[in-house]
Amino acid sequence: MKLTIHLILYEFRIRILWMFFCFIITLITSYIYSEEFIYLLSKPLLNLIINNHEYFICTHITEAFSAYIFTSLFCTLCFCVPYFYYQFWCFFIPSCYKSQRSFYNHITFLSTLCFLCIFYLTYIYLIPNLWYFFYNFNQASELCFQLQPKIFDYLLFVVHFLTISIMSSQIPVFMICLIQARIVNLSFLIKSRRIFLLLSMLIAALLSPPEIWCQFVTFVFLFGMIELAIFYIFLMLSMSCLNDSKGVRTTL
């Protein structure tokens, strides 16, 4: 028994060390290529301001350095979180039953798919359209507005929206886990849709910047993911009941 516990603790310590080294190496690499990452994050706005001979500005002597550090940390977390999940998955999966492994594999696939789809839609469509709207609003005004975006404020805005979109993409996974753990059921989720609507409005007001369009887009993201999660759970439960009636056992 003591030998088993010792081996478990030893493996856990090794995996923690691997995650620590991975984080440090990724952070250093991200800082080395932070200029390229800043370009990728700022590309939606660069297409607008470069054509009009406008550029990013820095109003503090340390702002450029802070932008590099901030971008490096964000990219490091984006790269390391999947690896951290993989390490924990390798640590816990040997003690799981076959049905549990199947469920966790299903959840991992769904989580990855939701993340990639929402991240793509946010970066390719949502952020450029938001900047296009704000930029044209300034240009269409009767007053003379000169757009001089601060690089750090822009990065905060982009990372803020990407973080909200990533968190929203995991709502279906979270709700499926609640269903699987029998904490809630489908009827409770359907009856609580009005509560989810109000919570989505409240969370959007708290998390998003104080612009009505940003809050509206965040609200649509949150509530839309909840609706998709309920619809997906309904389909999976319907398929599960159909397979059970045919004598085939499935896992949500």
Reply yes or no on whether the pLDDT at 244 is more than 70.
no
Could you give the percent of the chain with pLDDT greater than 70? 81
**Whether 31 and 83 share a structural domain:** yes
- The reported pLDDT for the residue numbered 225 is 81
**Whether 128 and 187 share a structural domain:** yes
59-111 per-position pLDDT tens digit: 778 888 888 999 999 999 989 998 998 898 888 888 888 888 888 888 888 88
In a domain, 172, yes or no: yes
**Whether 234 and 110 share a structural domain:** yes
6 Cβ contact partners less than 8 Å away, ≥ 6 residues apart: none
CA pair distance 77, 201, nearest whole angstrom: 28
**Nearest-5° Cα angle at 211, 210 to 216:** 110
In a domain, 76, yes or no: yes
**Which of 60, 92, 124 finishes a domain?**
92
- The reported pLDDT for the residue numbered 61 is 81
- Say what the alpha-carbon torsion angle 170, 171, 172, 177 is, to the nearest 10 degrees: 90
**Nearest-5° Cα angle at 63, 58 to 65:** 125
CA pair distance 93, 189, nearest whole angstrom: 29
Counting the structural domains of the chain, the total is 2
CA pair distance 217, 204, nearest whole angstrom: 8
- The reported pLDDT for the residue numbered 39 is 86
**Whether 87 and 116 share a structural domain:** no
- The reported pLDDT for the residue numbered 22 is 94
**Whether 110 and 188 share a structural domain:** yes
Residue with tokens 């896992």: 251
- The reported pLDDT for the residue numbered 72 is 93
CA pair distance 79, 122, nearest whole angstrom: 18
In a domain, 177, yes or no: yes
**Whether 14 and 122 share a structural domain:** no
In a domain, 183, yes or no: yes
Query: 207 lies in which domain range?
Result: 106-139+167-251
CA pair distance 169, 118, nearest whole angstrom: 6
**Whether 54 and 125 share a structural domain:** no
Higher pLDDT: 31 or 101? It is 31
**Whether 121 and 23 share a structural domain:** no
**Whether 127 and 226 share a structural domain:** yes
Q: Say if residue 90 is exposed, middle or buried (CB neighbours under 10 Å; 0-12, 13-18, 19+).
A: exposed
**Whether 50 and 116 share a structural domain:** no
DSSP assignment string, 13-25: HHHHHHHHHHHHH
- The reported pLDDT for the residue numbered 143 is 60
**Whether 81 and 128 share a structural domain:** no
**Which of 92, 116, 131 finishes a domain?**
92
Using 50, 70 and 90 to split pLDDT, how confident is the model at 20?
very high
In a domain, 22, yes or no: yes
**Whether 35 and 135 share a structural domain:** no
172-208 per-position pLDDT tens digit: 888 888 887 788 888 888 888 888 888 888 887 776 6
In a domain, 47, yes or no: yes
- The reported pLDDT for the residue numbered 165 is 82
Q: Look up the pTM and report it.
A: 0.75
Using 50, 70 and 90 to split pLDDT, how confident is the model at 151?
confident
In a domain, 69, yes or no: yes
Q: Is 238 within 8 Å of 227 (Cβ atoms)?
A: no
* Phi, psi (rounded to 5 degrees) for 176: -65, -40
CA pair distance 57, 72, nearest whole angstrom: 19
CA pair distance 200, 166, nearest whole angstrom: 15
